[in-house]
Chain A
Amino acid sequence: MSNTRQINFTLNGTPVSAEVGTHLSLVELLREKFDLFGARESCAQGLCGCCTVLLDGQAVSGCLYLAALADGAKIDTVEGLGTRDTLDPVQEAFIEAGAFQCGFCTPGFVLMTKQLLDENPNPSEDDIRHYLSGNLCRCGAYPEIIAAVKAASAKRKAAG
C-alpha cells in the first residue's frame, strides 16, 4: 500500500488531478498545488473556519481533511464564488456592511454564509449565530457580519 495517491476531483467546476502524500491536508493541497489562498490554516483545530472549503456542497475544515480523500469529490473554494468584477451577492453584502477588518477569516465566513442561505434563506438572528458559531473573527466584526448575512438574504430574495 502506497503512501502517495493520485487523486482526481473537480475544483471550482474544473476537473483536475494531483499526486499527493497521504499526510497532506486539503488546505495544504489547495494552497501549495493550486495556488488558491482564500482558505488559510489558522487554529489548526477546525475551530476558526479560516480553512473553510466546500466539499460536495458541504462546508468542511480543510485543515482536518485529508487531501487523498478528496478523490472523486467536488471542491469549491471562495475563488470559485465570485471575482473582483462579478461578486456573489454574499460578497457584496459583506462589503456593504463593512463585515471584515483584517480579512483573514472572511472567505470562511463568506462560504459558511452562502451555505447557510442555501439551506435556510431566511435565517433568524439566533439561526445565524448558531450556524456561524464555528467561525472566529479576532477583529470582532461579528455585529457587521450578522448584518451582512441579513442583507445577503434580502439580496438573494430580491434576485429571485
Chain B
Amino acid sequence: MAVKEIQSGQVGRSLPRLESAAKVTGHADYVHNLRLPGMLHVKVFRSSIPHGRIRRLDVSAAKQLAGVHSVITSDDIRTIIPEPYFGPAFHDQPILAIDKVRHIGEPVAVVLASDPHVAEEGVALIQAEYDELPGVYDEVAGATATTYVHDTLKPAGTFPDLKHLQGKSNTNIALDYQLRRGDVEAAFAKADHVFEHTFRTQQVMHVPLEPMVSAAELTATGLTIYTASQSPSFVRIEIARLLGWPENKVRVKVPHLGGGFGAKLYVKLEALVAALALLTRRPVKLSLRMDEQFFTISKHASTFKIKSGVTKDGKIVARRCDVWWNGGAYADIGPRVTQKSGFTAAGPYDIENVHLDSFAVYTTRPPAGALRGFGIPQLVWAYESHTDLIARALDIDPVEIRRKNILREGRPQATGTKMKDAAIEQVLERLAARMNWDRSFDRGAGTIRRGRGIGIGFKAVIAPTTSVAIVNVYADGSCSLYCSTVDMGQGSDTIMAQIVAEVLNLPAETVNVVHPDTDVTPYDMATLGSRSTFHMGNAVRIAAEDAKAKLAALAKEVGLPAGANVPISEIFKKKYGMQAGNVIGSGSFIPSYKSPDHETGMTDNATPFWMIGGTGAEVEIDTDTGDIKILRIVNVADCGTPINPRIVDTQLSGGAIMQLGFTLTEEMQFDNGQLRNPTLADYKIPGMRDMPTVMENEAVAARQHDGPFGAKGVGESATFGLSPAIANAIHDAVGVRLTELPLTPERLYRALAAANGKPLKD
C-alpha cells in the first residue's frame, strides 16, 4: 500500500472501519432489511414505451385481486399533493406519471399489499394504452429536435441562475452553461496547428448492490422516512415542501447504505412512499429490484466536440469545448453536472483562450443524474484522448506535452480562479515515475501487442454548501458525533470519528457516530462529490474544538487549575455532583464561493479545493480478436493529507475498478427507446477476473491548507483519468484510436481491420 501512514495521533491512522465487525457478521443495518409492523409492500407498474400520452389506465383488475390493499395513480397522489413535481434543479418529475410518459420504465401506478408477491401479481393485472410520440434519444440531435420532452421548463428555486428558464417552451435544453475567456477564434487563426475531435460516452448505471429502497410511516407527530439516501437533509426539506409541512414534522433516518455512488441522492423513491403513507395511513416500503434501478437514475451519456489551437512546440493557446449531456427525461441534478463540470472542461491546462458551451439536454431515456465523478470522467475522456492525439501528431512525448501545459500553483484556470493546493505537477511526475516512462517499453512484434498511456484530470469540488456537526460529550468522558454525512462504504463514519478523536485526544474507536436522523443530526447538504471529508470534516473539527473549549471553560468554572490533566468525568462530577450532564459543541462550515458570471462563466473563487487524479495504464492487445487485457493500472491522486491512509487507498482502487467497468464492459443498450439489458446477466460490471494483473495506488504527499488536518476529498479522483489512459495505451499498442466508450474487443477489432484496409464485412 503506497498511501503513507503516520504513527501518532488519530488522524493519519489506518484504523479499521468502525463498523467492521458488523459488516463481516452480516449485522450491519440497511433499509433493505427494514420491517415495520403493518407494513405494506409497494410494487410499481411502469411504462412500456419511451414517449407517449396515457390514453387509458385500467387498474380495476388489480384492485380486485385478493390481498391487494390499494392501487394508486397520480390522480390519487394529487388529492394530497396538488403539484406533485420534484427535483433538485427543476420541479419537473411527477411522483407518478401525469398524462404522459417520458421514458421506458417510468412509474405510472403502484400496487400495495402486505405480501409483496401479491403486489407483484397486481402490477401484472394493470393495463395501459398509450398514444405513442416520437422518441428523442441522442443528446446532440435532442438539442435541436422539434419533439419536446417537456412542454415548459420548470426550474426550482434552488438555482438562482435558472430563473431565466422559467416557463420556457419549445426546447429540450434544460441548461446552457457558457465560459468565455479571451478570443479563441483569433487564437485559432494564429496557431500553428488546429486539432478537432469528437468523443462520446455511453449511458451507464451505478448498480449499488443494495437496490434503492425507501419506507415511510405516519407517526404521532408527523412522518418518518427510512431511506437509503445520501442526502437526508435534502429529503426532509423536499418532502416538507411537497406536503406543505414545516421541516420539523418530517423525519428522515438513514443507516448504512449498500453502496450509493450518486444513485441514492435527492429524491428518488421518498416522495412516492411519503404520499403512499399518507394515502393509506399504513407504513409502506418500496424496495426496487435490480432491474428497476436502470429505469430510475443513471449516468449522462455525452458528446464532446473539442478543438485546440497549438503552437508547433505543443503549447495549447486556445481551446473550444462543446459538450452535450444526455439528461434523459427528467433533469434530476443534470443541470448542475452541466454547469459545474464546465468549470474544468478545458482540462488541467494553462490555456489563455477558452470557449465553452455545455448543454443539459432532455431526451426520452431514463433520467441521468449524479454518478461518481459528476461529469468529470466524461470530460477527461475527451480532453485526455485529445491531448494524446495532439502529442502524437506533433511527435511530442505524452508526458512532455502535459508538462508544457499543465496548470501550476498560482496560475488562473479557465474560470479565472487561481490554482491553490493543487498538486497537478506532482501527480503527473509521480505517474511518470511509477510508469517508468523514461525507460523503453516493449510493444511486442507479433499478434500480441502492448502499449501504455496516461490521463490526468481534475475537478472543482462543489460549492457553496453547508455542513453542520454536533459533538456531545457525556459525563464519563465518552462522546458522540452527530452528523448527517452518510457512510455508504467510503468510510465517512470512521474518518469523522478520527477527526473528533484527534481534537479530544481519544482513541477514534471510542467515538460513537450517530447515523443520520434529521430529528437528531444537523443539516448537511449531502454526501456527494467527494465533499464530506473537507466540508463536513471541517464542521466536525470545529464542533469538536467547540466541545473542547467548553470543557476547558467548565473546568475553569468549577475551579480546576488550567492545563491540569483532569479526567473529563471529574469536571462533570464537580459541576453536577454526580455522573450527569452533557457538554455540547457545534460547528458549521460553508466555504467561500463566488458564482460565475452568467455571460462569461468567469469567477475568481470557483471552488474551495481541487481534486486531481491521474491514471497510467499498460495494456495487451490480441490483434486477431481485439481482446484487451489490462496489465497494469497506476492510480495517483492529490487528496491532501489522508486522514485514514488505508481508506484512501481503497477509494482509489475502488474508484478505478468502477471506472474500468464504465470503460470496457458497461453500457445501457437501447433499441428504439426500449432498454435491452437492465439486469446483471447482460449489464456486466467488473468481477474478480476482470481485475488488472497489477494495480497500484498513490496519494501524493500534499496538503490542503484549509482542509481538516490538511485533508480533502478522494472518492472520485481515481475515476478521472482511467478511460483515456486505456484508450491512449491501446493507440500506443496498435495505432488505432477509439473515440467512444465502452472500448470493446469488437470495436477495437473493427478499427484494426479498417486500418489494415480489410474492414469487417457485415
Contact = CB atoms under 8 A, between A and B. Distances in A.
A and B touch in the complex (CB under 8 A): yes
Interface of A: 21, 23, 31, 36-40, 42-45, 47-48, 50, 77-79, 81-84, 87, 91, 94-96, 98, 100-107, 110, 128-130, 132-146
A128 to B, nearest CB: 8
A4 to B, nearest CB: 13
B439 interface: no
A108 B655 CA distance: 22
A27 to B, nearest CB: 12
A153 to B, nearest CB: 16
B691 interface: yes
Contacts of A128: 688
From A23, A44, A130, residue with most partner B Cβ within 10 Å: A44
Given A102-B257, A102-B489, A106-B24, A95 B691 contact: no
Contact of B657 (A50, A84, A142): A142
Given A102-B256, A107-B26, A42 B681 contact: no
Nearest to A126: B689
A96 to B, nearest CB: 7
B680 A139 contact: no
A142 B691 contact: yes
Nearest to B211: A42
B23 interface: yes
Contacts of A77: 26
A140 B656 contact: yes
A91 B21 CA distance: 8
B650 A42 contact: no
Interface string B253-286: 0001111110000000000000000000000000
A107 B681 CA distance: 22
B474 interface: no
B490 A101 contact: yes
B689 A129 contact: yes
Contact of A40 (B16, B258, B488, B646): B258
B562 interface: no
B299 to A, nearest CB: 14
A33 to B, nearest CB: 11
A132 B689 CA distance: 9
Interface of B: 14, 16-17, 19-28, 30, 32-33, 117, 206-211, 256-261, 289-291, 488-491, 646-647, 650, 653-658, 679-681, 685-689, 691, 695
Contacts of A103: 19, 22-24, 28, 256, 258, 489
Nearest to B259: A102
Given A78-B25, A82-B25, A143-B691, A102 B488 contact: yes
A37 B23 CA distance: 11
Contacts of B689: 129-130, 133
Given A83-B25, A144-B650, A44 B688 contact: no
Given A23-B117, A45-B680, 11 more contacts: A21-B117, A38-B25, A47-B680, A78-B26, A82-B24, A98-B17, A102-B260, A103-B258, A104-B209, A107-B24, A146-B688
Contacts of B646: 98
Contact of A43 (B17, B28, B488, B680): B680
B491 A101 contact: yes
Contacts of A31: 33
Contact of A87 (B25, B258, B488): B25
A104 B259 contact: yes
A22 B490 CA distance: 40
Contact of B685 (A50, A129, A133, A136): A136
16 contacts: A21-B117, A37-B26, A38-B26, A39-B26, A40-B33, A43-B680, A45-B681, A83-B25, A98-B16, A102-B210, A104-B209, A132-B688, A136-B685, A138-B208, A140-B653, A142-B686
Contacts of A139: 259, 489, 654, 658
Contacts of B655: 140
Nearest to B261: A138
B24 A91 contact: yes
Given A37-B26, A38-B27, A44-B290, A136 B650 contact: no
A87 B30 CA distance: 21
A53 B655 CA distance: 29
A143 B259 contact: no
Contact of B489 (A50, A101, A142, A145): A101
B113 to A, nearest CB: 14
Contacts of B258: 40, 42, 102-104
A53 B257 CA distance: 22
A88 B526 CA distance: 36
B102 to A, nearest CB: 26
B440 to A, nearest CB: 29
A95 B207 CA distance: 24
Contacts of A40: 30, 32-33, 209-210, 258
A138 B680 contact: no
A143 B26 contact: no
B466 to A, nearest CB: 26
Contacts of A110: 24
A105 B209 contact: yes
Contacts of A36: 26
B673 to A, nearest CB: 24
A116 B258 CA distance: 25
A140 B491 contact: no
Contacts of B291: 44
B688 A106 contact: no
Contacts of B650: 98, 101, 141, 144
A48 B681 contact: no
Nearest to B16: A95
A103 B487 CA distance: 11
A30 B19 CA distance: 23
A77 B27 CA distance: 12
Given A40-B210, A102-B257, A136-B687, A143 B117 contact: no
Contacts of A94: 24
Nearest to B24: A91
A23 B118 CA distance: 12
Contacts of B691: 129, 142-143
A126 B658 CA distance: 21
Contacts of B33: 31, 37, 40
Nearest to B487: A102
A42 B32 CA distance: 10
